[in-house]
Amino acid sequence: MDFESFVLAAATADLGDESAAREAADAVEFRMDLAADPLAALADYDGALPLIVTNRADFEGGEATADDARLDALCSAAEHPLVEAVDVELETASGGDGQRVIDHAQENGASVIVSTHDFATTPEPPKLRQLLDRACEYGDVGKLAVTARSPDDVLELLAATRASVAGGDRVATMAMGESGRHSRAVTPLYGSKIGYAPVDPADATAPGQYDLATLRRLVADLRSNPDLD
């Protein structure tokens, strides 16, 4: 998965959702940290959609304990032939422990998404660019999710997204929360390469997510210029 074009990922902890996601999604983000037995689920997976695997640590909003076992599971997941991207937190990547996951994923032909989340605020514009720049240093895609408290926060995120893309980076950006909800449909216009949505809105994995079918329709309606890919 090279993320040259926009990828809409169905976010789920249940790979059984894949069949329901096929009509609208380009990929499935498998939240390993929310699954009961993620490696067994992966071993049984034979769906049509490629997988992004995420084993989100508790320090960044997930439910996985930040230890070697979490990273070992990500390395094992990267070996699955349908896993085409692996998500690693920026803190993990920059701390050194995550480098073995990054290396192993790339050795197995998977892209690496390096992500960072702010569940309280939207950082000031210089910090937004700094976070994206750092994430892109370690990964093939730098993912930044912030929390918008006002429309101005979304505007700042859009400006940072566009600047990073203009500088040659691949990024995925979104603003969480009700004030930022529309950003999930709008950031692709500014170059964001990945969107996330649950098949069922009741299964949202982040604040402010649209359901999958709605986000696909909104993005398609807004992106009338194919050169935006």
Catalytic residue among 104, 143, 182, 193: 143
Residue 91: what residue type?
Answer: E
Give first-to-last CA distance, the chain, whole Å. Answer: 15
Could you say which of 80, 117, 182, 193 is catalytic?
Answer: 117
For the chain, helix, strand, coil in percent to 5 are 45, 20, 35
Residues 171, 137 contacting (CB under 8 angstroms): no
Q: How far is CA 14 from CA 17, 174, 200, 220, 222, in A?
A: 6, 23, 12, 26, 30
Determine if residue 182 is left, alpha or beta; phi over 0 gives left, psi from -120 to 50 gives alpha, anything else beta.
alpha
Would you call 117 a catalytic residue per the annotation? Answer: yes
CA distance 73 to 139: 19
| C-beta separation of 99 from 74 below 8 A | no
Q: From CA 121, how far away is CA 113, in angstroms rounded?
A: 22
Alpha-carbon torsion 13, 14, 15, 18, what sign?
negative
Per the annotation, the verdict on 182 as an active-site residue is no
| Active site (catalytic) residues | 117, 143
